[in-house]
Structure 1
Amino acid sequence: MQNEELILQVLRYIEVVQNQKTLAEKLQISLGKTNYVLKALIEKGFIKAENFFANKNKNQYRYLLTEKGIKEKIALTEKFIEKKKQEYDELVSELEILKGKNR
C-alpha cells in the first residue's frame, strides 16, 4: 500500500475502529506500523488521541479526526478518486485495443 493510500485508509477508519489491533487487521499491516503511522498523524495534527473516560484501561485511546485531518482526508480522497479514474480510462483504452486486435 502506498504511503498516501495508507494515510487515507487510516483517516477513513480511525473513528470507527475501536483499537490499534483492529485497525492493523483492517489495513493488513503490523501493529507496530499502525502505531508508527498513528503517532505520525498525531504529530502532523491530523488526529488526536483521548483517553476513554469510562474505560478502565487508561492505556486505551479514542482517536478523533481534527479539522486539519478532515481537510487532509478530503484532499487525499479527491486525489485517490482521480488516480482511479485515470487507471479506469487506461484500462478502457487497453480493452478497446485488444478488442480491435481480436477482430
Structure 2
Amino acid sequence: MLTDELRYKLLKALEQNPNLSQRQLSKELGISLGKVNYCINALLDVGLIKAQNFKNSQNKLAYAYVLTPKGIEDKAEVTTRFLHRKLREYAEIEREIENIKAELVEGKLV
C-alpha cells in the first residue's frame, strides 16, 4: 500500500535525486526492493513520475525517475497532509509527556 508517508518520502527522494536506482531507494527508505518496485510502478501508472533512460549510461537498464507537473503538485499536497499528521502526533506526544510529568510530581509513579 502506498501511504502518504511513503509517497512523500519517495517523491522527495526522487525530486532530490532522480538518478536513484530502485535498489538505492530501497536502502535509503528502509523498505524492500519489491515494495519500491511496486510503488514506482504505482507512481508511474498515475502519472506522478516518468521514467527516462540514461542516454549515455553504460547500463542501458538505468532510469531517471522525474516528477511530472502532476507529481510536483501531488508532492505539495501529500507534504501538507504528512506535516499536519506529524504535528498532530507531536501534540499528542507532548500531552502524554506532560501527563507523565504531572504523575511523577504528584507521586503517583513510584
Same fold (TM > 0.5): yes
Q: Deviations over 1:44-96 (max 9, x none)?
A: 00000000111122211111001111111111111111111111111121222
2:92 paired residue among 90, 93, 96: 90
What stretches of structure 1 of length at least 5 have no aligned partner? Answer: none
Classify 1:2/1:43 alpha carbon distance in 2 versus 1 (closer, same or farther; 3 Å). Answer: closer
- Counterpart residue number, 1:57: 59
Q: CA RMSD in A?
A: 1.7
- Computing the radius of gyration from Cα coordinates, the structure with the larger value is 2
SS of alignment partner, residue 88 of structure 2: helix
Of all paired residues, the percent bearing the same amino acid is 41
What stretches of structure 2 of length at least 5 have no aligned partner? Answer: 106-110
Q: Following the alignment from structure 1 to structure 2, what is the Cα–Cα distance between the partners of residues 101 and 10?
A: 41
8 Å CA contact retained: 2:4, 2:81:
no
SS of alignment partner, residue 55 of structure 1: coil
Q: Following the alignment from structure 1 to structure 2, what is the Cα–Cα distance between the partners of residues 59 and 100?
A: 59
1:2 deviates by: 6.8
List structure 1 runs of 4+ shifted beyond 4 angstroms: none
Q: Following the alignment from structure 2 to structure 1, what is the Cα–Cα distance between the partners of residues 40 and 103?
A: 49
Tell me which amino acid in the other structure corresponds to 1:78.
T
2:79 paired residue among 66, 77, 80: 77
SS of alignment partner, residue 52 of structure 2: strand
Q: Output the TM-score relative to the length of structure 2.
A: 0.85
8 Å CA contact retained: 2:2, 2:39:
no
- Counterpart residue number, 1:7: 7
